Amino acid sequence: MRTTDATSAAAAASSSGTKQARLSIALASLGKDMGQLTMLQHRILTGIRLPPRPRNDHPSSSAFSSSRWTHDHVFHEHQTNIYASTCGASQTLLNELTTAITSVQNELVTGLGELDSSSSSSSSRNGNVRSVSTRRRRQIRRLFGTARLTFDFYTLATFVALVDVHRRVVAVEGGDDGESGVEWNVTPVEGGTVSEAVVSQAVKRSRMVVSTFSTTSNMDRGFKALEEYIAGKSIKVVAEIKDVT
């Protein structure tokens, strides 16, 4: 009976490892990294910009007009706030991602500290630190083993959220003249557009899977949710975005 149980456990571990490797390859192939997130974040921050200051055609008015907050600035701020108020789902997703990432980081630091303390106590004659159990060591190894996959997933979900924020806040602003010519139902990207419905669905799916993946204690359930997430049509479309304009 014990042999059968051990064999089943080994088979399950092998299957889980294979699924994890497949998911890691799938996420890596999407090519989302911190560089792209930083670029997109920069475009959002620079896109929410004040309108140009009035030109100082008269020398005597230069000091006055260069320091005044004009009605253009007030209207611009008001309009930007209206656009930002439509980003509720993406803001919530970003907050949930922040919580999930912080949790993983804390778990990694805690696990590493436990292993270091255990190692130090075992090598010390008068060590008073309680040794880490075999079960706990297995949990820590599994946590470190899935760390890269976890952060790759969270990077993709963050990219989805930022694309939606860019669509709602920056793309509608357009050029320096304030005329965008971009409809609310499309996201301008390199080589074409992505519909609002697709981006909104990608945000919705991201929130659902981040919640499942970050809270479940069953790794196979988390892998299954992530596998379905990557295979989703809306996620595939948004993940293929190379650049937003």
Percentage of the residues of the chain whose pLDDT score is greater than 90: 34
> What local confidence, expressed as pLDDT, does residue 31 receive?
75
Of the pLDDT bands very low, low, confident and very high (cuts 50, 70, 90), residue 126 is low
Residue 94's H or E segment, with its range, is helix 88-123
> What local confidence, expressed as pLDDT, does residue 179 receive?
43
> What local confidence, expressed as pLDDT, does residue 6 receive?
44
Q: Which of 83-87, 89-93, 234-238 has the lowest mean pLDDT?
A: 83-87
* pLDDT > 50? residue 175: no
Buried b / exposed e along 180-209 (16+ C-beta atoms within 10 A): eebeeebbbbeeeebebebbebbbebbbeb
**pLDDT tens, position by position, 141-162:** 888 999 999 999 999 999 999 9
Task: Report the DSSP beta bridge partners of residue 189.
Answer: 192, 244
Determine the residue type at 220. Answer: D
> Where are the chain's structural domains?
31-46+78-239
> What local confidence, expressed as pLDDT, does residue 98 receive?
96
Which one is predicted more confidently, 8 or 168?
Answer: 168
| Phi and psi, residue 227, nearest 5° | -65, -45
**pLDDT tens, position by position, 71-81:** 777 887 788 88
Residue 182 region by backbone torsions, left for phi larger than 0, else alpha for psi between -120 and 50, else beta: beta
> What local confidence, expressed as pLDDT, does residue 64 receive?
44
Residue 193's H or E segment, with its range, is strand 192-195
Contacts of 73 (CB under 8 A, 6+ apart): 50, 51
> Running DSSP on this structure, what letter comes out for residue 54?
P
Helix or strand or coil: residue 189? strand
> What local confidence, expressed as pLDDT, does residue 227 receive?
95
- As a whole number of angstroms, the distance between CA 117 and CA 15 comes to 32
Nearest partner of 36 among 185, 144, 190, judged by Cα: 190
> What local confidence, expressed as pLDDT, does residue 99 receive?
96
**pLDDT tens, position by position, 196-210:** 899 999 999 999 999
> What local confidence, expressed as pLDDT, does residue 116 receive?
83
Which one is predicted more confidently, 90 or 54?
Answer: 90
Cα–Cα distance list, 167 to 8, 56, 138 (Å): 49, 34, 43
Of the pLDDT bands very low, low, confident and very high (cuts 50, 70, 90), residue 128 is low
Q: How many residues in the chain?
A: 245
Nearest partner of 178 among 85, 83, 50, judged by Cα: 50
Helix or strand or coil: residue 48? coil
Per-residue pLDDT, averaged over 95-112, amounts to 94
Nearest partner of 220 among 16, 11, 35, judged by Cα: 16
**pLDDT tens, position by position, 2-55:** 444 444 444 455 567 788 899 999 888 887 888 889 988 888 888 776 566 555
- As a whole number of angstroms, the distance between CA 121 and CA 124 comes to 5
